[in-house]
């Protein structure tokens, strides 16, 4: 492998910061959109269901794209340290996704498109209160996002296959099945973050391709309504693409955990056969767990329902036994340096696990009858996205800032950020879980009791959370300024 020059490293960092800062900026805007939704549900704002459902659509699509872009930037940078990557391709992928985001923004803000980010066929075309062009702008915008995503995945796949010797090398096949010969050969397996890149690339290409098939079908129907689609087929593709993309944002961000944890604990996180097999399993379960979104569609082929529950359960094992457990082994009795960066990453593991519990319970079919499409669902995914993936990204950002500035945040700042993000976050999330347990439906502009009261408490939690995030933003800017002064 050829060594990176300082110029290469600067370029790679530029790509990373472009992706990460864009992702976090969209995340910040979408957080305020989410707060506006909770305030409407609490009855503290009153702007009507047409605006509410348009904002809901924007929040859902915007958040998933924001988190994906931020995670993509971090993983791209890590892989660029492994093998030379063409930053031109990365910028093309970025530009395509930004064009897509603009399309979604125009559709929602200009046309009040409100068919939700899931745009379940035939909802974008039936009983609409938005103009037809807004549907087209949304679908074309999502298509651009998918093309950008697919291009990024293709670059990642090419990177891991060329760097590690095809699929056999990238999967660490020899390490798993011929361990002694492999060790005797002196070869090294791919580092842990390369497995995240491989899974993101392979499942991402599958996701992007099937997402595009659905997108094209919907665009064709938009152009010619006489072309009809099968609603069950469309629903399967919608959730395959949506669930898998949301899942992959976690696994992409986990790559940063594999790199950051050893730096904070001053220990090594090496690739073992168990880690490789765990990622093989993840490769399969990311693509098969989506069936749990269709449990309440009894016409679905029955075996898929069984696969959905089994895959959802089994997906927990690699997480709990390898990544989280491995991180705990790094932290246990180590010289852990507690800073905002390490706190974010460690707390992100907690959010991932707790949100995962919520997901497992919802993925249990007998429980899903009582939880499906209640507020339990946003409860669990907000837990592992907001208190998981976002914290992984923030942890990575703060680790870079702390290293560059050679300083860490004062204790008072750490406490304030912690109270805001974890205290406010817990209050915000409990509103979802308690409402969901009580059967309050999700995606209601006006909720039945006890929804409004719990939405009010959740809104207070969200405001505290946003204060914590704002303090973190200010602290991040301060560390960046210190770092700039130090390096110039």
Partner 1 sequence: MSVGFLVLAVFLIMGGCAVAVMVAVALTTRAAPLPQASVQFRGYVLRRWWFRVLGSAVVVAFVISIPWFPYPHAKQLQAQRHYRVVAEQFGFQLPEAVPLNTPIIFDVTSQDVNHGFGIYDPTGVLVSQVQAMPDYVNHLSVEFTTPGRYLVRCLEYCGIAHANMQASFEVK
Residue 334 CB, shortest distance to partner 1, in Å, is 6
Choose, by CB under 8 A, the member of 77, 240, 433, 457 that binds partner 1.
Answer: 433
Of 176 and 354, which CB lies nearer to partner 1 in the complex structure?
354
Choose, by CB under 8 A, the member of 11, 404, 443, 478 that binds partner 1.
Answer: 443
Write the CB contacts of 114 (distance below 8 Å, at least 6 apart in sequence): 50, 53, 54, 56, 57, 108, 129, 130
Whether a cis peptide bond, with omega within 30° of 0, leads into 160 is no
Query: Under the criterion CB under 8 A, does residue 325 sit at the interface with partner 1?
Result: yes
Choose, by CB under 8 A, the member of 314, 419, 473, 480 that binds partner 1.
Answer: 314
Query: Under the criterion CB under 8 A, does residue 353 sit at the interface with partner 1?
Result: yes
Q: What is the CA radius of gyration of the chain?
A: 22
Looking up tokens 């002196």 gives: 186
Binding region for partner 1 (CB under 8 A) out of 70-78, 197-205, 312-320, 467-475: 312-320
Per-residue binding letters, 41-80, with partner 1 (x by CB under 8 A):
--------xx--x---------------------------
Instruction: Identify whether the C-beta of residue 458 lies closer than 8 Å to the C-beta of residue 431.
Output: yes
Query: Under the criterion CB under 8 A, does residue 447 sit at the interface with partner 1?
Result: yes
Residues 378-407 binding partner 1 (CB under 8 A) are none
Residue 416 CB, shortest distance to partner 1, in Å, is 19
Residue 231 CB, shortest distance to partner 1, in Å, is 5
Which tokens in the block code for residue 285? 């379960």
Query: Under the criterion CB under 8 A, does residue 40 sit at the interface with partner 1?
Result: no
Which of 138, 151, 140, 74 lies closest to 111 in space, CA to CA? 138
Of 84 and 441, which CB lies nearer to partner 1 in the complex structure?
441
Query: Under the criterion CB under 8 A, does residue 333 sit at the interface with partner 1?
Result: yes
Which of 153, 173, 4, 24 lies closest to 89 in space, CA to CA? 153
Query: Under the criterion CB under 8 A, does residue 372 sit at the interface with partner 1?
Result: yes
Instruction: Identify whether the C-beta of residue 174 lies closer than 8 Å to the C-beta of residue 247.
Output: no
Residues 251-310 binding partner 1 (CB under 8 A) are 267-268, 274, 296-299, 302, 305-306, 309-310
Binding region for partner 1 (CB under 8 A) out of 11-19, 88-96, 252-260, 372-380: 372-380
Query: Under the criterion CB under 8 A, does residue 415 sit at the interface with partner 1?
Result: no
Binding region for partner 1 (CB under 8 A) out of 90-98, 127-135, 193-201, 478-486: 127-135
Write the CB contacts of 234 (distance below 8 Å, at least 6 apart in sequence): 120, 121, 214, 217, 218
Residue 91 CB, shortest distance to partner 1, in Å, is 36
Residue 255 CB, shortest distance to partner 1, in Å, is 21
What is the C-alpha to C-alpha distance for residues 212 and 229, in angstroms, rounded to an integer? Answer: 15
What is the C-alpha to C-alpha distance for residues 465 and 147, in angstroms, rounded to an integer? Answer: 34
Residue 379 CB, shortest distance to partner 1, in Å, is 9
What is the C-alpha to C-alpha distance for residues 384 and 254, in angstroms, rounded to an integer? Answer: 12
Residue 483 CB, shortest distance to partner 1, in Å, is 26
Enclosing H/E stretch for 439: none
Query: Under the criterion CB under 8 A, does residue 350 sit at the interface with partner 1?
Result: yes
Choose, by CB under 8 A, the member of 102, 369, 474, 481 that binds partner 1.
Answer: 369
Residues 128-147 binding partner 1 (CB under 8 A) are 128-129
Choose, by CB under 8 A, the member of 317, 406, 474, 481 that binds partner 1.
Answer: 317
Provide the Cα torsion 427, 432, 436, 439; round to 10°.
100
Choose, by CB under 8 A, the member of 77, 279, 346, 381 that binds partner 1.
Answer: 346
Cβ-count burial of 168 within 10 angstroms (0-12 exposed, 13-18 middle, 19+ buried)? exposed
Residue 381 CB, shortest distance to partner 1, in Å, is 14
What is the C-alpha to C-alpha distance for residues 414 and 344, in angstroms, rounded to an integer? Answer: 10
Which of 143, 191, 144, 147 lies closest to 170 in space, CA to CA? 191
Residue 395 CB, shortest distance to partner 1, in Å, is 14
What is the C-alpha to C-alpha distance for residues 265 and 416, in angstroms, rounded to an integer? Answer: 24
Q: How many residues are listed for the chain in this entry?
A: 488
What is the C-alpha to C-alpha distance for residues 336 and 326, in angstroms, rounded to an integer? Answer: 15
Of 186 and 366, which CB lies nearer to partner 1 in the complex structure?
366
Residue 207 CB, shortest distance to partner 1, in Å, is 21
Choose, by CB under 8 A, the member of 126, 184, 411, 412 that binds partner 1.
Answer: 126
Residues 180-239 binding partner 1 (CB under 8 A) are 230-232, 235
Mapped onto helix, strand or coil, the DSSP state of residue 374 is strand
Residue 477 CB, shortest distance to partner 1, in Å, is 27
Interface with partner 1: number of residues (CB under 8 A): 79
Residue 338 CB, shortest distance to partner 1, in Å, is 7
Instruction: Identify whether the C-beta of residue 112 lies closer than 8 Å to the C-beta of residue 129.
Output: yes
**Residue 176, number of CB atoms within 10 A of its CB:** 17
**Residue 37, number of CB atoms within 10 A of its CB:** 23
As beta bridge partners, residue 441 has 374
Residue 114 CB, shortest distance to partner 1, in Å, is 7
């Amino acid at each position: 492998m050829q060594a990176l020059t300082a110029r290469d490293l600067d370029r790679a960092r530029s790509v990373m910061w472009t992706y990460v800062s864009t992702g976090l900026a969209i995340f910040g805007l979408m957080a305020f959109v989410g707060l506006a939704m909770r305030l409407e549900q609490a009855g503290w704002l009153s702007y009507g269901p047409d605006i509410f459902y348009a904002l809901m659509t924007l929040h859902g699509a915007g958040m998933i794209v924001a988190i994906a872009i931020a995670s993509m930037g971090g993983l791209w940078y890590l892989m660029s340290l492994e093998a030379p990557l063409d930053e031109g391709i990365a910028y093309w992928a970025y530009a395509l996704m930004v064009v897509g985001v603009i399309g979604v923004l125009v559709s929602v803000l200009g046309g009040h498109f409100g068919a939700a980010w899931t745009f379940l066929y035939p909802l974008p075309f039936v009983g609409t209160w938005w103009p037809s062009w807004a549907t087209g702008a949304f679908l074309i915008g999502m298509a651009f996002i998918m093309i950008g995503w697919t291009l990024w995945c293709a670059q990642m796949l090419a990177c891991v296959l060329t760097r590690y010797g095809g699929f056999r090398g990238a999967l660490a096949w020899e390490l798993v099945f011929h361990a002694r010969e492999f060790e005797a050969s002196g070869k090294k397996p791919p580092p842990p973050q390369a497995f995240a890149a491989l899974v993101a690339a392979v499942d991402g290409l599958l996701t992007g391709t099937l997402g595009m098939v659905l997108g094209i079908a919907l665009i064709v129907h938009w152009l010619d309504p006489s072309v009809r689609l099968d609603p069950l087929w469309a629903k399967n593709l919608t959730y395959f693409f949506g669930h898998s993309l949301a899942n992959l944002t976690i696994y992409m961000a986990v790559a940063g955990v594999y790199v950051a944890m050893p730096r904070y604990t001053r220990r090594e996180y090496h690739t073992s056969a168990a880690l490789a097999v765990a990622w093989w399993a993840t490769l399969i379960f990311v693509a098969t767990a989506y069936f749990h979104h269709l449990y309440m569609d009894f016409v679905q082929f029955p075996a898929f329902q069984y696969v959905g529950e089994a895959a959802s359960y089994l997906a927990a094992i690699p997480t709990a036994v390898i990544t989280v457990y491995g991180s705990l082994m790094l932290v246990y009795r180590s010289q852990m340096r507690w800073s905002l960066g390490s706190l974010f990453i460690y707390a992100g593991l907690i959010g991932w696990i707790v949100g995962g519990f919520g997901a497992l319970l919802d993925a249990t079919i007998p429980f899903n009858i009582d939880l499906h499409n209640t507020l339990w669902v946003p409860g669990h995914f907000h837990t592992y996205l907001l208190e998981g993936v976002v914290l992984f990204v923030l942890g990575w950002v703060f680790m870079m800032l702390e290293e560059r500035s050679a300083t860490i945040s004062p204790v008072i700042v750490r406490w304030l950020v912690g109270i805001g993000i974890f205290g406010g976050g817990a209050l915000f999330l409990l509103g979802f879980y308690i409402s969901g347990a009580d059967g309050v439906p999700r995606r209601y502009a006006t909720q039945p009791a006890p929804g409004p009261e719990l939405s009010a408490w959740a809104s207070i939690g969200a405001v505290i959370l946003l204060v914590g995030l704002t303090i973190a933003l200010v602290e991040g800017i301060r560390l960046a300024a210190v770092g700039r002064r130090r390096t110039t």
